[in-house]
Structure 1
Amino acid sequence: MSVNYVNLDKSDNFKKLLETPVCQIKEELSSDRIKKYSASAGAGLVYNFAGKKVNNTILTLLQGLADEQQLIEKYKLLLNGDVINTGEKRMVLHHHTRGMKLDDVVSEGQDMTKFYDGEKKKIYDFAKKVHNKEILGSTGKPFDTVVQVGIGGSDLGPRAIYLALKNYNKPVLNAHFIANVDPDDANNVLSSLNFETTLFVLVSKSGTTQETLTNQKFVLNKMEKANISGLVPLKHFVSVTSATSPLAADTNYLSSFFIDNNIGGRFSSSSAVGGCILSLALGPEIFERFLSGAREADKQALNSNIFENAALLDALIGVYENNVLNMKNTAVIPYSESMSRFPAHLQQLDMESNGKSVNRFGDRVSYSTGVSIFGEPGTNSQHSFFQYIHQATSIIPVQFIGFRKPQIDADMEYQGSTSGKKLNANLVAQMTAMGVGKDDENKNKNFDGERPTSLLHADQLTPETMGAILAHFENKVMFQGFTWNINSFDQEGVQLGKLLANKVLNNQMDDVLKSYADLMI
C-alpha cells in the first residue's frame, strides 16, 4: 500500500475549509440535528457532535480532507507494522495488544500478536494463582493489596482505568499507585499498608527510569526497616519491563512480564503495563472485557465514512477547530466521578503525542499542531472553571462524557429526582448553555453561546465502554497526527529534562543550571 505524507497546508480541502463561512451553532441546533449528528464509537459508545460548529458543507470538506490525507490507509499501514514512529524508527503496535491487526507482524524475529497474547496469558495465570492463594507473600500470608510503582504512562492510564472500574466490579485486591519521586507520595501510600500482604508491580520498560527505581528503593528500604520476621521484600515484587532490560535478568522478583519498544508508555494501558495491575486488582475477566471494548472501537476506526467512524470524525473536527477556528485548548469533562483521573491521562496521551513543531521528516511546520487538554469531573467543574468557558473572550471546546445509569445501583430521590438524574440534567444544561447562550440587557448576565461541545455517551460505564473510550481517544490522537503530518509516537521533549536533571544530580552544571539549583537544592 502506497501513501503520501503531506503537510496539512498543502491540502486542497483544508484550503477550502479556510474559505468556508463558519457555522453558527445557535442557527443550526435543533432536535433533528441532535438526533442526526451522531456516530458510533463501538461497544455501545456514541459520539454526538450536534454542538460543534460544523454543517453539511464543512463535514463534506472534512471527509475530503480525510480521504486526501489518506488517514484510513495510514492506520492500516500502522496495523500492518510499517515504521510509523519515524523519530525512533519503530513500529507502533498498541492495537495488537487487544487483538486488533490486519496481518501478522514480526519484530526481532517473533510474531508480535503471539508475544502479546503470551504475556497476557502469563499475567492471567499469575493473577489467578494470587487470587486462589496459591502464590503468597514471603511470610506465608495471602495478598490483599497491589501497588503499581511507575511514572507517566506506567501510572496515568492504569490508574485512571482502575478508578473508572473499581465501582463496577469490587476489587479482588485493593490497588494503589506510587508515581511521583516526591517522598511524600510514597510515604502517603505506604503508611496504610501491611507489607506482609502487599504485592508491588514495578513498571519500567527500560529498567533504568530514575524516578521509578528511586521509588522502588524507597519501598524496599521501608520494608526492611519494618523488621518483620521472615519478610523478603523482593519476593513481594513483580516487574513489567522489556526482555532486554536490567530488571528482566533479576531472578529475585516473584515474576516478570514483558513489553517491547513498539509501544509507547502513553499507549501502553492495554499491554502488560495496565494488564498486570488491572488483572490483579479487578480480575482477568474484567481486563479481557476492557480489551474487547477497545478492539471494537479499533475496528470502528477502520471505516472510511466519517459518519460511521467516531474517532476519525472527532479528530477532524478537532483539526478544524484548531487550524481554522484558532481554538487551542480543549476541556474534557466526564460526568462520572469514577473517571476523575481520565483527563490527566488524556493530557499525556494527546499533548505528549501531538505537541510537535516539525513534521515526520524533521521539517518545521507553519501551522498549529496539538491542543492543550484539561478537565475535571462534572458537576464539580461547573463550580470551578466553567465561568471561563461560558463568558471569557477565548473560546474553549468542551468534550463531555456521560452515562445514563450509574455504576452502583444505590441512588436516592430528593426534591423530586435522583442524584443520577440531577447529574445528567446538569450535563444537558451545560451543553445547551454553551451552544445557544442567553441574551440579556445586563451584559454581565449575557451569554454569547457559540461554545462548541460534543458528547461521548453510553448506557453505563462498563469495562467494554471504558475500553472503547480509551481506544477512541488513542485513535483520535493518531488520526490528528496523520492529518498534521507529524510523528505522534516519540517524545523528545521528555528526554531533555531527564538529561538536565542528571547533570544537576551529577554536579555537571553550567551557570544557568547551577543558579536555579541554588534556589532549590
Structure 2
Amino acid sequence: MINWKNLDELASYGELQKVEKVNLAEVMSGESGAQRVKSCSIPMAEGLSYNYAAKAVDSRVLDVLVKLADEAQLTEKYKALYNGEVINTGEKRLVLHHLTRGQLGDAVAADGVDKRAFYVEQQKRIADFANKVHAGEITNEKGEKFTTAVQIGIGGSDLGPRAMYIALENWAKKTGNFKMEAKFISNVDPDDAAAVLASTDVAHAIFILVSKSGTTLETLTNQSFVMDALKKQGLDPAKHMIAVTSETSPLAKSDDYLDAFYMDDYIGGRYSSTSAVGGAVLSLAFGPEVFADFLEGAAAEDKLATEKDPRKNAAMLDALIGVYERNVLGLPATAVLPYSQALSRFPAHLQQLDMESNGKSVNRFGEPVSYVTGPIIFGEPGTNGQHSFYQLLHQGKTIIPLQFVGFRSSQIGTDVEIQGSTSQQKLCANVAAQIVAFACGKKDDNLNKNFEGGRPSSIIIGDQLCPKTLGALLAHFENKVMFQGFLWNVNSFDQEGVQLGKVLAKRVLAHDTEGALSVYSDLLNI
C-alpha cells in the first residue's frame, strides 16, 4: 500500500539532517577527487551517463538517501503513475506522458480506450500527414509544396517543442534529415507574430495551432493575427492550418483546419513534447523517423527510472541529491548549464518543467507544507554563461548547485584546430575546468582573487546530441522532477499558480476593474 506522507514526516529525512556535511573542496582535491570522478557515475540510456562526483555527498549521505527513497516509496509511486492511477490529485486526472513513448506496465484505459493505442494512433496519423506534406501530396491551394512549419502555442505548447527543434536542427541538416524549417509564435505581444511572419514565406507555410482546450487566449489571439495576414495576401487560412488539440475542443472538427491531431487531459503541457504537441512540428521539420528515434530514447530512459536502487537510477539519485541540497543544505536555486549551443533553449524548457511542477506550498491533499519545495531554475549554454553570471556562481555569497550537460563530439562532425586544439576540445576543456574550479576553488591572500570552492555540480555526459540522446535527456529531467514531487508530497501535474493572472487579465479587458487594477489599466492605456 502506498502512503503519501510529507517529507518532514519521514524518519529518514530526520536522519539525513543529522549526517555530517561533506567538505566538497577537500574530497574533490588531489587523488581523492580523481577517484570520486571515476566511481561516482551512473549509466543512462543511449550512452549517456550521470556523474555526481562534484556533489557534496559521500557514502554516509548516500546510504540515508537510499533509505529516504525506500521510505518515500519512490519506485512504487512511479509504478502507480505509469499504471494509470489518479496521481494528479488537483485535477483528478491520470498522468500519462510516459505512455506517449512506451508501455512500462499494465495497459491503461481511460475515456473508453486503451491510451497507449490512442497515442500510437495519433503518432501514425501525424507521420502519414508529414510524409504526404514532404512528398507534395498535401500542398497549399496552388498545389505548391509547403517549405516552413510555424507552431502557434504558448507555455508547454512552445517551450518544449521549440527547445527540441533547436536541439536537432543542425544535426538534421548535417545528416540529411532536414525537411522543413520550423518557427514558433508564442507571445501575445503582436511584435512576436509580426516578426515571425515578416521572415516567413507565408504562401508556403503550414501553421500548427496548439491548444488542448481550444480556448487559450494568447494562442487564439495569435491565430487571428496569422489568419489576418494570410487573408491580406489573398490566401485561404483553412488551407494553411492544422490543429493539435483535444477531441472535445471546438478546434477538433472545425473546417478551419486541414486536419486535427489529438492529445488529452492526461498529459500536462510541460510534459507534452513527446505527444502530438511536439510530434507534429518535429515530424514536419525532420521526418517521422527522427521523431520516432526521439521517443525511443525517452522510452529507454523511462525504463531505467524503474530501478529501485537510487545508486543505479540516475533520475532518482539526481532528485534525491536535489532535495538534500534544497531542504538540508538550504540552497535555493539550480543552474542548468549545457555545454552545447544546440541546447540553448533547454534551460528555458526545464525552468517551466521544474518550477511549474514543484513550485507549490501545499501538499497533494491541499494542506500547507512547512518546508521549501522546488528550486529556482535558470541557465544558459556554456561558454556564454561563463561571461555572464558565473561571477556570482564562483564568488557570490549564495551557493547555487549546477547541472552541466556535455558531449564529447559536436553535431556538425567537422572542426578546425586553432592554437593547438579544436573548438570542441576548447568547449569540453571549459566544462571540465569549471566543475573543478567550482568544487575546489583557489586560495589567495588577495580576497578579491580568492575562490572558496564548495560549489556542487553534476554533469550528464554523452558522445553526441542526436534524437535518441535528446529523448533520454528529456526523460531524465522529467523523471527527476516527478521523483522530487513525490518526495515533497506535492502534486507536480497541475498549475493553479498560472490561473489568477489570467482571470484578472480577462477582467481588465472587460473593463471590470477597481483599485490598483484599475489604475494599472489606465497607466497602460487599456
- Structure 2 counterpart of 1:122, one-letter code: R
* Partner residue in 1 for 2:291: 287
Superposed CA RMSD: 0.7
In the TM superposition, what is the alpha-carbon distance from 1:509 to its structure 2 partner? 1.1
Render the CA deviation track for 1:407-433: whole Å, top value 9, x for unaligned: 002210000000000001010010010
3-state secondary structure, aligned to 2:150:
strand
Worse overlay, 42-51 or 87-96: 42-51
For residues 119 and 142 of structure 1, what CA distance do their matches in structure 2 show?
Answer: 23
**Match in the other structure for 2:207:** 200
Q: State the TM-score, normalizing by the size of structure 2.
A: 0.98
- Tell me if the contact between 2:253 and 2:260 (Cα under 8 Å) persists in the aligned partners: no
Q: CA deviation at 1:510?
A: 2.1
Aligned with 1:226 (options 230, 233, 240): 233
**Equivalent-residue separation in structure 2 for 1:208 and 1:397 (angstroms):** 39
Report whether the alignment pairs 1:520 with 2:519: no
2:43 counterpart SS class: strand
Please tell me the residue identity of whatever aligns with 1:194. D
Give 1:102-501 correspondences, 5 Å limit.
102-170=105-173, 171-227=178-234, 231-501=235-505
Equivalent of 2:41, from 38, 41, 46? 38
2-structure distance, mates of 1:43, 1:375: 24
Q: Which amino acid aligns with 1:475?
A: N
> Aligned pair in 2 of structure 1 residues 328, 100: CA closer, same or farther (>3 Å)?
farther
- Structure 2 gap ranges (5+): none
2:237 and 2:256 in contact (8 A); partners too = no
Q: Distance between the aligned counterparts of 1:281 and 1:253, measured in 2?
A: 19
Question: Which residues in structure 2 correspond to 1:32-71 (within 5 Å)?
Answer: 32-71=35-74
5+ residue gaps, structure 1, are none
Asked if structure 2 preserves the Cα contact closer than 8 Å seen for 1:100 and 1:298, the reply is no
Take 2:253 and 2:422, find their aligned partners in 1: how far apart are those partners?
55
Give the secondary structure class of the aligned counterpart of 2:251.
helix
How many angstroms does 1:249 deviate by?
Answer: 2.2
Per-residue Cα deviation, 1:264-316 (whole angstroms, up to 9, x for no partner): 00000000000000000011111100000000110000001111100000000
Q: What amino acid sits opposite 2:16 in the alignment? A: L
SS at match of 1:139: coil
Give 1:43 shift: 1.5
2:96 paired residue number: 93
Measured after TM superposition, the shift of residue 226 of structure 1 is 1.9
CA positional deviation for 1:514 = 0.5
Cα deviation, 1:334-374, whole Å, max 9, x if unaligned, reads 00000000000001000000000000011100000000000
Provide the rounded CA distance (Å) in 2 between the counterparts of 1:195 and 1:50. 51
* 1:220-268 CA-partner distances (Å, limit 9, x unpaired): 10111123xxx31221000000000000120231100000000000000
Q: Which runs of 4+ in 1 moved over 6 A?
A: none
- Is 2:506 the counterpart of 1:502? yes
Report sequence identity in percent: 58
1:163 is displaced (CA, Å) by 0.3
Report the count of equivalent residues. Answer: 517
Letter in 2 for 1:26: A
